[in-house]
């Protein structure tokens, strides 16, 4: 299931609008545990589409950092919820 | 005792998790911020190119099929509308071409010829695919492309500049990317100004109130042969201030670009889309 979903994510990076790619990333992060593939997809997006570095948010790596932070936040929330429900 | 041991184990697992995240971030940075990124970027662009080409072909095919199934009446209406549009555009085009030729002749007579060598490129990916305002085009270093080459539409509307080159593809940074600043002239009186990119083919210019500008005035990049970046879409007067904001829009949808021209003779000194 995870491998199939990763293939869909890669296809989405290449051929689908960013909004859909972000939705897939969010779904993956929520459904699978430690969904680091989202960070890999962010790196892939930056390598494929990034142009010149303009400003702080246009710097290479900022999008990846943002996705990594979101994945970490989801993991932290999951850990926190599990701890609470025990 | 058992609880303490469990707590210790959980703490160690959490530490390991943080270390793993830090390692992932370091690896990502190595991928993205070292000279290795150029090689990886080129490799991934080569991998993705066949998919982009196939997708473009599939879209063209799908459009053709959809046209076959369109209703006859709607096709007749569309045809009539397009014929009317074509008539008016042709009239404009005749006078435009005559004026352009006259302009070229005058410049040549005065010893200044406008030299441009345009290379046609197909757009493989439009800005909607990424958080960046970039295009991916199907020509690269194999076709003599270099970073900084200016990219335009129809030769007259400058849209951006080549910012990264792979063997058979290149990334074009649009001038309208958020944060870009471009020196321009506004309107018929050629007022010098700075256009700030707002993303999605939009710019913003701030000028003092009272300058003679109007909606639909063209905004150009100062060069020997005028190259436009767009037209004034709206003017907003700041209340109680002495400034006004001009909103500039390119006259086409950047998400629907299919063909662009790369000027292989003109390069920007350093690429940040700012001249």
What DSSP line would sit under B10-52, residue for residue?
A: HHHHHHHHHHHHHHHHHHHHHHHHSTHHHHHHHHHHHHHHHHH
Q: Are B135 and A52 in contact (CB under 8 A)?
A: no
pLDDT band for position A22 (50/70/90)?
Answer: very high
Q: Is the pTM of this model over 0.80?
A: no
Res B114: pLDDT: 67
pLDDT at position B275: 42
CB spacing of A51 vs B33 below 8 angstroms: no
In a domain, B140, yes or no: no
* Model confidence at B99: pLDDT above 70: yes
CB atoms A49 and B129 under 8 Å: yes
Is the per-residue pLDDT at A24 higher than 90?
A: yes
Look at chain B and report how many structural domains it folds into: 3
* Residues B80 and B54 occupy one common structural domain: no
Q: Residue B237 is part of a domain; what is its CATH number?
A: 2.40.10.350
List CB contacts (< 8 A) between A51 and chain B.
132-134, 163-164, 171-174, 177
Residue A8 lies in domain: 2-85
Q: Is residue B199 one of the residues assigned to a domain? A: yes
B8: tokens are: 């210790």
Q: Please indicate whether, in this complex, the C-beta atoms of A51 and B177 are within 8 angstroms of each other.
A: yes
Residue A49 has its nearest CB partner, among B55, B130, B180, at B130
> B86 lies in which domain range?
70-113
pLDDT at B93 over 80: no
Q: Do A63 and A42 touch, CB atoms closer than 8 A?
A: yes
Which pLDDT value is given to residue B2?
52
**Three-state DSSP state, B119:** strand
Structure tokens at B237: 């007067």
Comparison of pLDDT for B173 and B265, the residue scoring more: B173
**B46 and B79 inside one domain:** no
Q: What confidence tens digit (pLDDT) does each residue in A35-78 have?
A: 888 988 998 898 888 877 766 666 777 888 889 889 889 988 88
Q: Assess B149–A contact: CB distance below 8 Å, yes or no.
A: no
Mean pLDDT lowest among A23-32, B42-51, B91-100, B222-231: B91-100
**Does residue B229 belong to any structural domain of this protein?**
yes
Please name the residues between 254 and 273 in chain B that touch chain A, using a CB distance below 8 Å.
271-273
| Residue B229 near residue B201 (C-beta atoms within 8 A) | no
Contacts of A67 in chain B (CB under 8 A): none
Contact between B194 and B160 (Cβ < 8 Å): no
Give the model confidence (pLDDT) of B53-83 as tens digits.
Answer: 888 888 888 888 887 777 777 888 888 889 8
Two tokens, residue B241 = 């201030």
pLDDT value at position B39?
82
Output the pLDDT for position A8. 92
Other Cβ atoms closer than 10 A to B37 = 20
Tally the domains of chain A: 1
What would the two tokens of residue A37 be? 């593939």
Q: Which two tokens stand for residue B5?
A: 């041991």
* B122-180: pLDDT as tens digits: 998 888 887 888 889 989 888 888 888 989 887 678 889 998 888 888 999 998 888 88
Report residue B273: phi and psi, to 5°: 65, 5
B165 forms beta bridges with B170
Judged against a pLDDT cut of 60, whether residue B8 lies above it is answered with yes
């Amino acid at each position: 299931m995870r491998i199939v979903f990763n293939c869909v994510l890669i296809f989405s990076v290449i051929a689908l609008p960013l909004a859909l790619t972000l939705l897939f990333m969010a779904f993956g992060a929520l459904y699978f545990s430690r969904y680091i593939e989202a960070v890999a997809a962010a790196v892939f997006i930056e390598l494929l589409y990034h142009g010149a570095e303009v400003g702080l948010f246009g710097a290479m790596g900022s999008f990846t950092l943002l996705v990594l932070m979101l994945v970490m936040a989801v993991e932290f929330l999951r850990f926190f919820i599990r701890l609470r429900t025990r | 005792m058992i609880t303490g041991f469990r707590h210790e184990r959980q703490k160690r697992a959490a530490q390991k998790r943080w270390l793993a995240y830090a390692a992932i971030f370091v690896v990502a940075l190595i991928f993205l911020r070292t000279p290795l990124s150029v090689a990886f970027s080129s490799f991934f662009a080569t991998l993705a190119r066949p998919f982009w080409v196939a997708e473009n072909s599939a879209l063209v095919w799908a459009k053709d099929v959809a046209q076959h199934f369109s209703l006859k009446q709607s096709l007749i209406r569309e045809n009539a509308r397009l014929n009317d549009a074509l008539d008016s555009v042709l009239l404009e085009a005749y006078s435009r071409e005559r004026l352009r030729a006259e302009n070229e002749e005058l410049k040549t007579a005065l010893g200044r010829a406008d030299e441009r060598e345009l290379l046609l490129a197909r757009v493989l990916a439009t800005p909607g695919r990424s958080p960046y305002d970039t295009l991916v085009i199907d020509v690269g270093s194999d076709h003599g492309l270099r970073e900084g080459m200016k990219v335009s539409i129809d030769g007259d509307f400058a849209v951006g500049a080549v910012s990264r080159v792979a063997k058979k593809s290149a990334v074009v940074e649009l001038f309208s990317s958020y944060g870009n600043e471009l020196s321009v002239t506004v309107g018929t009186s050629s007022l010098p100004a700075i256009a700030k990119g707002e993303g999605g083919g939009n710019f913003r210019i701030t000028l003092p109130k009272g300058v003679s500008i109007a909606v639909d005035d063209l905004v150009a990049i100062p060069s020997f042969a005028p190259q436009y970046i767009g037209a004034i879409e709206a003017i907003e007067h700041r209340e109680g201030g002495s400034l006004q904001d001009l909103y500039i829009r390119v006259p086409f949808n950047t998400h629907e670009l299919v063909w662009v021209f790369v000027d292989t003779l003109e390069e920007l000194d350093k690429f940040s889309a700012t001249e």
